[in-house]
Structure formats: structure tokens, C-alpha cells
Amino acid sequence: MSVLEKFRLDGRVALVTGGNRGLGRQMAQALAEAGAAVALTSRDQERADQAAREIAESVAGATVAGYACEVSNYDQSAQAVERTIADLGGLHIVVNNAGINIRGPIDELAPEEFQQVIDTNVTGVWNMCRAAAAHLKAQRYGRVINVGSTLSIIALPERTPYASSKGAVLQMTRVLALEWAQYGITVNAMLPGPFSTEMNLALEQDPEKYREFIARIPLGRWGDLDEIGGLAVFLASDASSFVTGAGMTVDGGWTAH
Ligand code: NDP
């Protein structure tokens, strides 16, 4: 098999949480372009349906389904897994992308805000991995991609909820890589730097904060949305068969400092 053929995902089924917009949408699109059938989720059924329709229309022959799922709720996560398997005929790739960020000095954040970030970014990933475990183990194959952040490995002020949650995502990734290696399941984390999505609107619209970010990034710019799909397809495919437990940055060199 040629190296490019190893990147193809024909016959594979992927589930992408938070796949209706932002980075998740880009990754859902990229996986579909590589040949996978894709189920994407949003908390809102209509938003999920619309994104699924748009991706299906833009990729010839693609099968794309949209499901409502609140990832911090275990039963809803399990339902998304079950529906994917029932509707699309299997599950091979899980992209745990859904996430939120609430920024602020610790004494200006409410305990509920901290909890909400942890519930979504940490418990959400755990729920989906737990829900997919039996199926992936039984088929002795799986590609799990957890979306961390540069803040999985470095710190910034006013990010106690987010950086704590993303540090946990990287550690969960490593634990599961060890736990599941014997079942042919690889588990890796992507660690993106800043990309222009809804999550970052406030930063992007503040000229001083925006300049501060650019100054940290050797490539001198934020990521373009279409620069995330390549790593997602690599980690989802047989091209990455010897890669597990890794945290891979896509950050323009930020964390090389
Ligand atoms: P967006 O805000 O654009 O998208 C977030 C997605 O997550 C939406 O699809 C949203 O769906 C979904 N979501 C949020 N909360 C929940 C929840 N409780 N249950 C289910 N789905 C939920 O963010 P990005 O695309 O920027 O972020 C995607 C991932 O990438 C996140 O994990 C983020 O931390 C990470 N990341 C992003 C970076 C960036 O610069 N943009 C940098 C580093 C990491 P809906 O609202 O429709 O329910």
C-alpha cells in the first residue's frame, strides 16, 4: 500500500463531537473528504443536521449524520455512540472535540464556571471514551483523537478552568493509550494554538490581546481553519499506526519556545 493510500479512510466511520462549527466542523469535513462516513454532534439537533447536510453536499458520495449530544451527560454520549453504530454501520474513529473556555482571574470566576468547563472538556471526553470502549475493544481497532490545546502543556494567566481541563485531557489520552494498546486502539491528543473560531472572538476583537498572541507565535499568525484537517486525518488513519499516547501541537511553533 502506498503511503498516500494509508491516509484514506474509506469504509471507516467517525464520530466527531462539536462537529457543527469551528475546528470540529473542519475535522468532520476533512474525515469525510478522506472517505469516512461521519457522525457529528452539537447540543442542538438543527445545528447538527445543518452542518451534516452542508458537508454531505460538498463531498461527493459522503455519508454524514448529525446528532444532538450534551457531552457532559453520559447517557447522551452513549446514545450518540449507539446511533452512529446503528445508522452508519460501525465506529472506528472518535474525535473528542467539543469544548468551551471561560476566562478570568480565579477570584472573578464563579465555582459553577470552573465546574462547567471541567464538565464539558474533561468529563465530556471521559464519557465518550467510556461509551465507545466496548465497541472499539471488541473490534480490536480504534483511533481516538482528543482535542487538547497548547494550554495542555503551557500556561497563561486567567485560564485556571481551561488549562486545568486541557492538562487533564492530555493525561487522560496517555492513560488510555496504555490501557488500550493491547486492543489495537491508538489514543492521541491534538494540541492546537489559536485558530479563529467562536471560542476566540473576544481575543481576536481585542487588538492588544491579538498582538500579544501573534508575538508568541514564530510563524507570526493564527492558524487558518483548514490547517487542522491534515493532522486529524493522519491520526485517524493507518498512516499513524505506530503513534499512540502522543500530544501533537498545531500551533505555529508557539510551544517550541
Ligand atoms: P467553537 O466554540 O467554535 O466550537 C465548540 C463546539 O463544541 C461546538 O460545536 C459546540 O456545539 C460544542 N460544544 C460546546 N459545549 C458542548 C457541550 N457541553 N456538549 C456538547 N457539545 C458542546 O470552538 P473551537 O472550534 O474553537 O474548539 C473546538 C475544540 O478545540 C475545543 O475543545 C477547544 O478547546 C479546542 N481548541 C480550540 C482552539 C482555538 O483556537 N479555536 C485552540 C486550542 C484548542 P454547540 O454549541 O452547537 O452545542
Q: What atom in ligand 1 is closest to the CA of residue 147?
A: 32
Residue to probe by mutation, ligand 1, list 20, 23, 159, most atoms within 8 Å of CB: 23
Q: For the chain, what is the total number of helices (H) and then of strands (E)?
A: 10, 7
Edge-to-edge strand order for the sheet containing 64-68? 64-68, 37-42, 13-16, 93-96, 142-147, 185-192, 247-250
Catalytic residue among 74, 141, 162, 210: 162
Cell of 64: 454524514
How many other β-carbons are positioned within 10 Å of the β-carbon of residue 207?
A: 8
Q: Is 44 in the pocket of ligand 1 (CB under 6 A)?
A: yes
Q: Is 71 in the pocket of ligand 1 (CB under 6 A)?
A: yes
Contact 6, 234 (CB under 8 A): no
Residue to probe by mutation, ligand 1, list 197, 217, 227, most atoms within 8 Å of CB: 197
Ligand 1 center to residue 183 CA distance, Å?
A: 29
Ligand 1 center to residue 2 CA distance, Å?
A: 34
257 residues of the chain, pLDDT tens digit each:
999 999 999 999 999 999 999 999 999 999 999 999 999 999 999 999 999 999 999 999 999 999 999 999 999 999 999 999 999 999 999 999 999 999 999 999 999 999 999 999 999 999 999 999 999 999 999 999 999 999 999 999 999 999 999 999 999 999 999 999 999 999 999 999 999 999 998 888 998 988 888 999 999 999 999 999 999 999 999 999 999 999 999 999 999 99
pLDDT of 212 reads 87
Residue with CA nearest ligand 1 atom 44: 149
Q: Helices 74-88 and 124-139, interaxial angle, to 10°?
A: 40
pLDDT of 209 reads 87
* Domain ranges for the chain: 5-192+228-250, 198-225
How many other β-carbons are positioned within 10 Å of the β-carbon of residue 225?
A: 16
What are the CA-CA distances from residue 42 to residues 77, 98, 187, 227 (Å)? 11, 8, 23, 22
pLDDT of 175 reads 99
pLDDT of 153 reads 98
Encode 73-106: b = buried (16+ Cβ within 10 Å), e = exposed. ebebbbebbebbbeebebbbbbbbbbbbbbbeee
- Strands annotated E in 8-141: 13-16, 37-42, 64-68, 93-96
162 is known as an active-site residue? yes
Beta bridge partners of 39: 15, 65
Q: Is 132 in the pocket of ligand 1 (CB under 6 A)?
A: no
Cell of 148: 487538547
**Architecture of 5-192+228-250 per CATH?**
3-Layer(aba) Sandwich (3.40)
Euclidean distance between CA atoms 20 and 43, whole angstroms: 9
pLDDT of 180 reads 98
Cell of 157: 494567566
Ligand 1 center to residue 102 CA distance, Å?
A: 12
Ligand 1 center to residue 101 CA distance, Å?
A: 8
pLDDT of 213 reads 87
